[in-house]
Amino acid sequence: MKDTDILPSGKSILAELELEQLTVRTIKPRSKRTHYRAILNWIMRYQTSSSSSSIDYVKGLLEVFYHFCQLEEWRRAALTLAIPLNLSAKVELQEHLGIWGYYNEQIELYKQLLGKLTPAIDSVCLNGLGGAYHSLGRYQQAIDCHQQDLELARKTGNRKGEGSALGGLGNAYNALANYPEATHCYQQWLGITQDVGDCQGKAKALGNLGDINESLGRYEQAISYYQQCLTIAAEISDSMTESRANGGLANVYSHQGKYTEAVGCYQKWLKTAQDNGDRDGESKALSSTLSISDI
């Protein structure tokens, strides 16, 4: 894997950040000019080696974010985190840090940006903080962030954001085995996605309802939810949601003793995880496949 495979071209990044016409030597004062020189160097000159870790590939963009924060260029800092990477999931930099497992790094980025721009950006930060805390097992902090996000979304009339916040709350309650509360959150989220036409959110909500039913041993209901999730995720090319649904479906088939079907789903999960550098997903898919092969 090369950094050029993961990152957009330097020119496209400059265009995304509205820097393509920047003339550094005209920038004053000198301290500000120094930060802009560093930004251009990180975008155009930073290189990695074949032995670099995942975060090394995006170090240039993280440094660009840092310099924008030093300049209090909050809008461009936010744009930097929203740059999509050239991986099969096609998700933004800030989200992919979570896929790679860099949760503490996510937390620091979101904290720097929170409260600096618009309610919509604050919602992204609160949702991201909640997700990172969740992944670290800090569920009460996750709930606090998602609750703040929910209140903000309702105050500003951001229905899609409201749905995402409910999804985050549902995830935390699910992790705490509070299945009734998690189900209630997911069902509210599903209703909102249908109201606003949020296909990606709908797929995720259906997948999460599948998880709840799988945990409760309601396998036929779980299969129905997962299959609905897979259909929508495939239609919108959301490979990560599709991957997670395949993992959940494989678990159900394994519980039912349908090992051939389970292996097929685990292999699909494994391929997507490998394509996106999702080490946690890759490990789980491999171990699950091996456990079935031993039966």
Alpha helices in the chain (DSSP H): 3-6, 10-16, 30-44, 54-57, 59-70, 74-81, 93-99, 103-113, 119-135, 139-156, 159-175, 179-196, 199-215, 219-235, 239-255, 259-275, 279-293
Looking at residue 284, what is its pLDDT?
84
* Percent of the chain with pLDDT strictly greater than 70: 97
Q: 54 or 101: whose pLDDT is higher? A: 101
Q: What is the mean pLDDT of residues 177-183?
A: 97
Read out DSSP for 226-287?
HHHHHHHHHHTT-HHHHHHHHHHHHHHHHHTT-HHHHHHHHHHHHHHHHHTT-HHHHHHHHH
The pTM score is 0.90
Looking at residue 293, what is its pLDDT?
63
DSSP 115: T
Residue 193 scores a pLDDT above 50: yes
Binned at pLDDT 50, 70 and 90, residue 73 comes out as very high
Separation CA 114–CA 67 (nearest Å): 16
Q: Is 107 within 8 Å of 129 (Cβ atoms)?
A: yes
Which sign, positive or negative, has the C-alpha torsion 144, 183, 220, 205? Answer: negative
Residues 13-41 have pLDDT tens digits of 999 999 987 888 889 999 999 999 999 99
Looking at residue 35, what is its pLDDT?
96
Looking at residue 90, what is its pLDDT?
72
Residues 219-265 have pLDDT tens digits of 999 999 999 999 999 999 998 899 999 999 999 999 999 999 999 99
In DSSP terms, 84 is beta-bridged to: 92
